[in-house]
Amino acid sequence: MSAYHPLTEQEAIQIAGSLEGFFPAGAALQCREIGDGNLNLVFHITDSISGKSLIMKQALPYAKVVGESWPLTLDRARIESEKLLLEGKLAPGLVPVVYKYDAELALTVMEDLSDHIIMRQGLIAGTRYPKFADDISTFIARTLFFTSDLGMNQQDKKMQVKAFINPELCKITEDLIFDDPYTNSPNNSFDPAIQDAAEALWQDNGLHFEVALLREKFLTNAQALLHGDLHTGSVFVTPASTKVIDPEFAYYGPIGFDIGAVIANLLLNFAGQEHWTADADQRGDFRRYLTDTVRDVWNLFDKKFRALWDEHGLDRIASETPGYKDYYMNRLLQDAVGFAGCKIVRRIVGLSHVIDIDRIPDAAVREKAQRLALTIGTSLILNNRKTQSIEEVIELANSAASK
C-alpha cells in the first residue's frame, strides 16, 4: 500500500490497525472521512471497544476545493508534520501530538481532538473562550521568537529557511490574498449584491499601494517560521484548552502575518454578528468580547515576545540598542494590522470564504455583514503604517459597526 494514492476508508483502517502499540488487539475499527477544509483528506478512526481514536490526514496531489486542474505538491504533508513537531516542542500542549508521518503516502497520523470544537464554529454558536487569548499569544510568541534571528542560531535558521521553503503554498497566498481581490480575477468569488464594493477595490490606487507593500513583505521578509494560515478554522478550542492545527502553509515570513490572521478572523466573526446575535444588546456584548480578545491577543503577545527577547535574545546589537525593541514591536503591530485587513478582504471577495459570513441566511443581513467586513478590512490596510496602538484597531471596528 506504500505507493502514493488517495486512501479509501478501508485502507485507512488497515494502516491504523498496523500502527504498533496504538490500538489494542481485537480492536473494532471504524473510519469516516471528515475533511471539511479546502485541500486534504482527513480520516477519523475509532475503536468502538476501547474508545481509542486517532486522525490520519492525507494530502491530495491537487487542491480539493478546485479539483485536479489545480495540482499541488504532496511535500506540504512533510512541512505540516515537521512544523507540528517543532510547534509541539516550542509550545507544548498547544498542538496535536504527531504519532507518525508517512512520506510515501503524504500522511500524518495525529491525536484526535474531537473533544474540542473548531473555534469558528464555537464563535458562531456564541461561545466564549477565556483561555484562548493567553494560549494563542503563547503559541505565536514562542513559535515565532524561537525560530527568528532574535531567538535561534542565525546559521541554523538559514538551514531551517531552506527546509521550510514552501513555494506552491506561498503562491496560493500571494495570489488569493495579495493580488486577486484587487483586480477582476477569475479566481474571485463574491455576492452579486456587493459588485460595486468589489469594483471599488479594483480601482483604489491608495489601497493597491499598501497591499503591494504588504505583499512585498510576505514575499521577502524571512523573519520567523510562520504557521501561515492561522485562522479560526485552524484552531480547536474548549473553554479550557486551545490546540492549533493545519500548518501546511508554514514558511519563513513576516511575523505580523500570523498575528494578523488571528485578528482578521475575530473581526470577520465580529462582522458576522449582524446575524449570529439577533438581539442588539447581546450583539454589542459579544462584539465587545471579540474586541477584548483582539486587544488581549496583541497585548499578551507583545508582553511575552518582549520577555522572551529579554531572557533569551541572541542578537547582541538588536538586544542592547536602546529603542530598537520598541521600534521592532511597533512594526510588528503595523504589519499585523495590514495583514489582518488583507485577510478580511480576501474572505469577502476572493476564493474561499468563511462561514461566519456565508452562512448568514438572510440576503440583506449577509450583505450588511459583507460590507461591514470590507469597511473594516480596507480601513486596516489603509491605516496600517500609521497604527501606534491596538486600541486604534478596536475603535476602527466599533466605528464601522456603528454606521
Ligand X SMILES: Nc1ncnc2c1ncn2[C@@H]1O[C@H](COP(=O)(O)OP(=O)(O)O)[C@@H](O)[C@H]1O
Ligand Y SMILES: CSC[C@H]1O[C@H](OP(=O)(O)O)[C@H](O)[C@@H]1O
Shortest Å, Cβ 402 to ligand Y: 30
Residue in 135, 246, 258, 302 binding ligand X, rule: CB under 6 A: 246
Interior angle at CA 112, CA 51 and CA 45, nearest 5:
60
Judged by CB under 6 A, the chain residues 45 through 104 that form the site for ligand Y are 63, 65
Number of residues located near ligand Y, criterion CB under 6 A = 14
* Other beta carbons less than 10 A from residue 345's beta carbon: 26
Which residues are documented as binding site? 40, 57, 111-113, 229, 246-248, 346
Shortest Å, Cβ 364 to ligand Y: 28
DSSP run (H or E) holding 63:
strand 62-63
Q: State the residue for C-alpha cell 503591530.
A: 333
Residue in 7, 23, 31, 37 binding ligand Y, rule: CB under 6 A: 37
Residue number of the CB atom closest to ligand X: 37
Residue 338 grid coordinates: 495590514
How far apart, in Å, do the first and last CA atoms of the chain sit? 59
Residue in 9, 33, 38, 313 binding ligand X, rule: CB under 6 A: 38
Distances (CA, A) of 91 to 81, 142, 195: 15, 6, 43
- Which CB atom, from 73 or from 277, has the smaller least distance to ligand X? 73
9: contact with ligand X by CB under 6 A: no
- Which CB atom, from 37 or from 96, has the smaller least distance to ligand Y? 37
Which one, of 230, 244, 248, lies nearest residue 58 by Cα? 248
Interior angle at CA 260, CA 393 and CA 301, nearest 5:
85
Judged by CB under 6 A, the chain residues 57 through 116 that form the site for ligand X are 57, 96, 110-114
- Which CB atom, from 41 or from 176, has the smaller least distance to ligand Y? 176
Tally: H helices and E strands in the chain? 15, 12
Of the listed pieces 130-138, 191-199, 245-253, 380-388, which binds ligand X according to CB under 6 A? 245-253
Query: What long-range pairs does 81-88 form, CB within 8 A, spacing at least 24?
Result: 81/108, 82/163, 82/164, 83/164, 83/225, 83/227, 83/247, 83/248, 83/250, 84/108, 84/110, 84/247, 86/143, 86/147, 86/225, 87/139, 87/143, 87/227, 87/244, 87/247
- Which CB atom, from 248 or from 356, has the smaller least distance to ligand X? 248
Which residues are documented as binding site for ATP? 40, 57, 111-113, 246-248
Residue in 59, 144, 172, 342 binding ligand Y, rule: CB under 6 A: 172
Which residues are documented as binding site for substrate? 229, 346
The runs of H, that is alpha helices, within 5-129 are 9-17, 75-90, 119-124
55: contact with ligand X by CB under 6 A: yes
Residue 23 grid coordinates: 490500538
Q: Which does 114 bind (CB under 5 to 8 A by kind): ligand Y, ligand X, none?
A: ligand X
Total number of residues shown for the chain: 403
Of the listed pieces 9-17, 37-45, 127-135, 143-151, which binds ligand Y according to CB under 6 A? 37-45
Judged by CB under 6 A, the chain residues 15 through 34 that form the site for ligand X are 34
Binding site for ligand Y (CB under 6 A): 37-39, 63, 65, 172-173, 176, 229, 233-234, 246, 351-352
Binding site for ligand X (CB under 6 A): 34-40, 42, 55, 57, 96, 110-114, 118, 234, 245-246, 248
